[in-house]
A and B are shown apart, each in its own frame.
Chain A
Amino acid sequence: NAGVTQTPKFRILKIGQSMTLQCAQDMNHNYMYWYRQDPGMGLKLIYYSVGAGITDKGEVPNGYNVSRSTTEDFPLRLELAAPSQTSVYFCASSFPGQENNEQFFGPGTRLTVL
């Protein structure tokens, strides 16, 4: 199993551009999450999904959109990129059947908005 994969690894955007961060998992996990991590800080939840077709906002959803058309994929869309969105983005997944809901993280996407 590849686990949780994310593309791209690095990206530089200009202010106002848009892009989609890709996330895929091959563990048949129903739950998927997007986080951002600013330098020297903990992770903040942007959006999460408990299954295909179901998404919900986390702590910091403004400026982002998500979709979940399949169990495997959970892309994160940035519209009108702003410098405040410069961060490292982590995708994670978990299996709801497990009582502990342990999350498995992807390698991250480092995004810079100039």
Chain B
Amino acid sequence: ELKVEQNPLFLSMQEGKNYTIYCNYSTTSDRLYWYRQDPGKSLESLFVLLSNGAVKQEGRLMASLDTKARLSTLHITAAVHDLSATYFCAVDENNDMRFGAGTRLTVKP
């Protein structure tokens, strides 16, 4: 069965600090997605990672994929309050998309 596990589930950071969110999955799929969700809102696509070693960056966020380890990371650099949200990773196996439980990130001044 396809499983996707994120950790940590809750993360409280101070502004200016760095941190990494981890996403482990059980399938051989090499398509991994990161989404952001603000409270009461829908999901916004952040990154799509399609191959081993893929790295993508947007602003203070950088995502990477290691398909051999079945691990993706979302690295936050010099966090700011605007990054406070819930971050989900998801894996697509033959159109069966499975999401992690999410990491609720709070960035404090």
B25 within 8 A of partner (CB): no
CA distance A99 to B30 in the complex (A): 11
- Is A74 an interface position by the 8 A CB rule? no
Asked if B66 is at the interface (CB within 8 A of a chain A CB), the reply is no
In this assembly, does A8 line the interface, its C-beta being within 8 Å of a C-beta of chain B?
no
| Complex Cα spacing A42 to B41, Å | 13
Q: Bits for A40-71, please: 1 = Cβ < 8 Å to B, else 0.
A: 11111100101000001011000000000000
Tell me whether B42 and A59 are in contact (CB under 8 A).
Answer: no
Give the docked Cα–Cα distance between A90 and B99 (Å): 13
- What sequence of 0s and 1s flags, for each residue 71-114 of chain A, a beta carbon within 8 Å of any chain B beta carbon? 00000000000000000001000000001111111111000000
**B58: interface (CB < 8 Å):** no
Give the contacting residue for B96; candidates A40, A42, A59, A107; CB below 8 A. A59
A41-B101 in contact (CB<8A): yes
Interface range, A side: 20 to 34
User: Which residues of the partner chain A approach B98 to less than 8 Å between Cβ atoms?
Assistant: 45, 59
Binding site for B on A (CB under 8 A): 31, 33, 35, 40-45, 48, 50, 56, 58-59, 90, 99-108
Bound together, the chains give a CA A56 to CA B48 distance in angstroms of 24
CB distance from B6 to the nearest CB of A (A): 8
With CB as the reference atom, state the residue of chain B lying closest to A90. Answer: B42
Given A100-B50, A101-B31, A101-B92, are A43 and B99 neighbors across the interface (CB < 8 Å)?
yes
A103 touches B97 (CB 8 A): yes
- Per the bound structure, the CA–CA distance linking A100 and B65 in Å amounts to 14
Q: Are A42 and B42 in contact (CB under 8 A)?
A: no
Given contacts A31-B95, A45-B98, contact A102 B42 (CB under 8 A): no
Are A102 and B48 closer than 8 Å at their CB atoms? yes
Contacts of A104 in B (CB 8 A): 45
B48 touches A105 (CB 8 A): no
Q: Give the distance in Å from the alpha carbon of A84 to the alpha carbon of B90 in the complex.
A: 24
Q: How far is the CB of B55 from chain A (nearest CB, A)?
A: 15
Q: Which residues of B contact A44 (CB under 8 A)?
A: 99
- Give the shortest distance, in Å, between A6 (CB) and chain B (any CB): 9
